[in-house]
Structure 1
Amino acid sequence: MMKRPSFKDLPLGKDDPPYSAWGLYGPKDELGALNLLTEEVVKKAAEENIKTGVRISLNLPLDVFKDKPFFNRQVFHKDLYPKPPRNVNDDVWHFNTQSSSQWDGLRHFGYQAPRKLAFYNGVTMDDIHAEGSTVNGIHAWSDKGIVGRGVLLDFDTWRRKEGIEYDPFKTSPIPLKYLKQIAEAQGITFRSGDILLTRTGCTKTYLAMSPEERVQTASPNPVAAGGVEQSEEMVEWLWENEFAAVGGDQPSFEAWPTQWKEKDFLALHEVILSGWGMPLGEFFNLEELAEHCQKTGRYTFFVVSEPCNVIGGVASPPNILAIF
């Protein structure tokens, strides 16, 4: 595998946006950080982590936010109808691909003003909306999937033991020093190609709410939510650990709205998605996973996720399993 440049060498192009790695895998690449998931990396992850055959879904139901989706997205809707005279049923689903558990794709969130307005590898909004364009579509990820070693950092359990207050529905940045302490406490050593998952207790908190509380929580736009901190140190840590993908149980993997004032309110979404081409997962269901990790003392596992094969799609349900 090629050696990646160090963080201090970013951006790779002198006129490219902050921390970007455009061209690292070629000017037409649409896999980004998934290039780290080589056959050797996936084989080793499977051999080391599939031991018992226990399988745990990390998907929330597609209609989980039926009371009020976050970010003013559309509600999932299902039409079920019979097909007489045969004893047959069909159904039709209508949904926003980001209205439940999701992978954000490379068409979703580009670099924002005052920076160069572009998506991964310099793709522009005009490029994406050109007739017949498929560039940076989610279909590129469905071919081989997002498959490798998953690592859970269970912030919610750790912070309760440490007596740290945290509200997942306030703009509550989780400091990088906490993630490092959790990794040490769980005995985690990261390696290239890991799929990082952070559990904040967000979905657990949401599911315990009344319908009225859910509507109130999801109605503000932008929504207030906890997540990892926005900082240059966090970006460096994510890059140097060579994660293939990141995700969590939050509305936004990072604390939202962004608090990164040093770089004109630069968001991690900009760097992760548009700078590196790294899948960014949100609203994953990590409750059963966390329970199993605590029970077994294992915080690494095999991840299998296949985004939907929609040509030119922006995002996708993850269709994701953790296998032990």
Structure 2
Amino acid sequence: MKNAGAVLSLAVAAAAYPSMGPYERVSRIFDRSVDLYADWPSYDQLPLNSSYPTKAAWGVWGADDQLGALNHITNDTILAASQTIQDGLAFPLNLRLDVPDPPSNAARKPLSHLYMPQDGYTDDVLVMNTQISTQFDGLRHYPYSTNNSVYTYQWYNDLIADYEDVIGPKPTEALGLQVSAEKGIAVRAVLFDFAGWMDATNQTFDPFTDFQINPGQLDEVADWQNMPEDWSQPGDMLIIRTGWVRQYNTLNITERALLRVQNWPYIGLEASDRTLRWLWEKKLSLIGADNPAVESSSFIAEIDGAMRNLHQVFIGGWGMSIVEFLYLEELVPAMHSRNRWNFFLTIQNLNVVSGIASPPNALAIL
């Protein structure tokens, strides 16, 4: 939010103009104890109701579901993921909380770290925007909207009536960060080292441009990494190394400040139906990257005939959280030296009721 006045005006507007709806509830019928994927819809069958937003997966996990793509994580997928632990090597995937410095978005204030000396002990106080540094975007962070209008906000599964339920004095708990925190996230993560592949094949690219990574290129990365054709398993987290953090680490203080002032573009996934189709079929629980948004800064594109971005479809549509600014620069060499492309990953979000986002506290174990 830009300022308190803006928050107030948005709250008033949201109260006066609730989000679009109501909708005729349509849900997939399945029995978790028998077949989690019974009657699983194809990408072309999304949404289940034509009144739902572009390619939304509302109702796929039930009309009242709040977990979204985290439903792909089960006891069995966690046990299977644990089998990827071979060497007992742990790699934290989190940037320091004050990196990037300054934050990439000028509207977001940097970390404030205060010390409180006491009699015989010392406390410290952290004040931070959860959209700085490495971050886990919860399902309240990014709704569908038309022209960024608060009047048309639509959250996952239509579980939030209007914006006041998110930012008002008495927010609801629906889709709050506590849902994912209390679920617990342990997955098999699959790394696509796009930057490494580009280097190895002598292709030039600049992570500080709106270079768009498409599924065809990711398939080539998979071949380069000697991944099997059926590399994905339900519950996987897909992680893409774009090279953004690597390049950021080469900048001096002045260049880092200019990066934000000049609003430099950034590399990332292409916003398109072919990207979404490629991802939906893999039944991913999460998606992440080392760049500012996972998707490219080009952002808006035509998806199923509407101008949308991947944030809208991922978070508002599929209930799939995004992890941004992952630190992969120590993990990747260790994986390549072992000819690895998957690993065990845990995420533990802050358990904040009605929360929006959190540092992921992401840990990779090889």
Q: TM-score, normalised by structure 1?
A: 0.94
Q: Equivalent residue for 1:127?
A: 165
Any conservation in 1 of the 2:101–2:256 contact (CA below 8 Å)?
no
Cα distance between partner residues in 2 of 1:117 and 1:295 = 46
Q: Equivalent residue for 1:26?
A: 62
Matched, 1:109 2:142: yes
Any conservation in 1 of the 2:103–2:132 contact (CA below 8 Å)?
no
Aligned-partner SS, 1:148: strand
Deviation track 1:257-303 (CA, whole Å, cap 9, x = no partner) reads 31514544310001000100001110000111111111111110001
Instruction: Say which of 251, 255, 259 aligns to 1:217.
Output: 259
Give % identity. Answer: 34
**How far apart are residue 126 of structure 1 and its match?**
3.8
Instruction: Say which of 52, 71, 84 aligns to 1:35.
Output: 71
Name the stretch that deviates more: 131-140 or 98-107: 131-140
How many residue pairs get aligned? The number is: 320
**How far apart are residue 68 of structure 1 and its match?**
4.1
Any conservation in 1 of the 2:103–2:133 contact (CA below 8 Å)?
no
Cα distance between partner residues in 1 of 2:225 and 2:49 = 38
Cα distance between partner residues in 2 of 1:211 and 1:67 = 9
Aligned-partner SS, 2:307: coil
Instruction: Say which of 167, 173, 177 aligns to 1:138.
Output: 177
**How far apart are residue 66 of structure 1 and its match?**
2.9
Cα distance between partner residues in 1 of 2:261 and 2:356 = 23
Any conservation in 2 of the 1:70–1:219 contact (CA below 8 Å)?
no
**How far apart are residue 67 of structure 1 and its match?**
3.0
Structure 1 spans left out of the alignment, 5+ residues: none
Cα distance between partner residues in 2 of 1:319 and 1:311 = 18
**How far apart are residue 71 of structure 1 and its match?**
4.9
Any conservation in 1 of the 2:286–2:321 contact (CA below 8 Å)?
yes
Deviation track 1:18-46 (CA, whole Å, cap 9, x = no partner) reads 11010111222111000000111111111
Name the stretch that deviates more: 276-285 or 111-120: 111-120
Q: Equivalent residue for 1:70?
A: 105
**How far apart are residue 145 of structure 1 and its match?**
2.1
Structure 2 spans left out of the alignment, 5+ residues: 1-35
Q: Equivalent residue for 1:177?
A: 216
**How far apart are residue 220 of structure 1 and its match?**
4.3
The alpha-carbon distance between structure 1 residues 129 and 63, as it changes in their structure 2 partners (threshold 3 A), is: closer
Cα distance between partner residues in 1 of 2:291 and 2:62 = 32
Cα distance between partner residues in 2 of 1:285 and 1:22 = 32
Name the stretch that deviates more: 249-258 or 184-193: 184-193
Runs (4 or more) in structure 1 with deviation over 2 Å come to 65-72, 114-117, 123-130, 261-265
Aligned-partner SS, 1:28: coil
**How far apart are residue 187 of structure 1 and its match?**
2.8
Deviation track 1:207-249 (CA, whole Å, cap 9, x = no partner) reads 110111111112345x511101111000001100111100000
Give the aligned residue type for 1:182.
V
Cα distance between partner residues in 2 of 1:174 and 1:165 = 13
Matched, 1:187 2:222: no
Instruction: Say which of 123, 134, 159 aligns to 1:90.
Output: 123
Cα distance between partner residues in 1 of 2:132 and 2:214 = 27
Cα distance between partner residues in 2 of 1:2 and 1:134 = 28
Aligned-partner SS, 2:330: helix
Any conservation in 2 of the 1:72–1:219 contact (CA below 8 Å)?
no
Q: Which fold has the larger relative contact order, with Cα–Cα distance below 8 Å and residues 6 or more apart in sequence?
A: 1
Q: TM-score, normalised by structure 2?
A: 0.84
Give the aligned residue type for 2:101.
K
Q: Equivalent residue for 1:229?
A: 270
**How far apart are residue 147 of structure 1 and its match?**
1.1
Aligned Cα root-mean-square deviation (Å): 1.6
